Homo-oligomer: A and B are copies of this chain.
Amino acid sequence: MRLSLHTDYALRALIYLASMREDATTAAAIASGYGISKNHLVKVLQRLRDLGYVETVRGRGGGVRLTADPEQIRLGEVVRKTEVFDEVVECFNPERNTCPIVSVCRLPRGLGEAVEAFLAVLDRYTLADVASNKDALNRILGR
């Protein structure tokens, strides 16, 4: 079972933004803190901006920042929006499915409920919950 790197990086970016002391930061700083591709992170931040989680501040000391308090951001909601769920198994995507029993098989319903249970657990966590040790996070992320 795997989540996409896109979701992984989105969660890392949100944790970075939730734990920092300064008002805004740059994609380069986040990418450097995690040792990941800046190009990839820029795309992830663009997506988080389209979703309304981050905004760009212009001018000196500008960069990106959260649009809401970390207490208000539920991880289940983030993962629902960043992750693709029609790839759990082949038959979740009607356009790509080749499995002939899809119309009579009862597995998709069970797997669908399992995915919902996965997300329901993440709905119980806010961004503030997972980024709560700010001092330790800031130390490691080089701030």
Contacts and interface: CB of A to CB of B under 8 A. Distances in A.
A122 B110 contact: yes
A42 to B, nearest CB: 18
Interface stretch (A20-28, A46-54, A55-63, A131-139): A131-139
A11 interface: yes
* Total copies of this chain within the assembly: 2
Contacts of A106: 129-133
Given A8-B90, A113-B121, A107 B1 contact: no
B110 A114 contact: no
Interface of A: 1-5, 7-8, 11-12, 15, 33-36, 75, 83-85, 87-90, 98-101, 103-107, 110-111, 113-122, 124-125, 129-133, 136-137, 140-141
Contacts of A87: 1-2
Query: Which among A36, A89, A114, A124 has the highest number of chain B CB atoms within 10 Å?
Result: A114
A114 B105 contact: no
Contacts of A120: 117
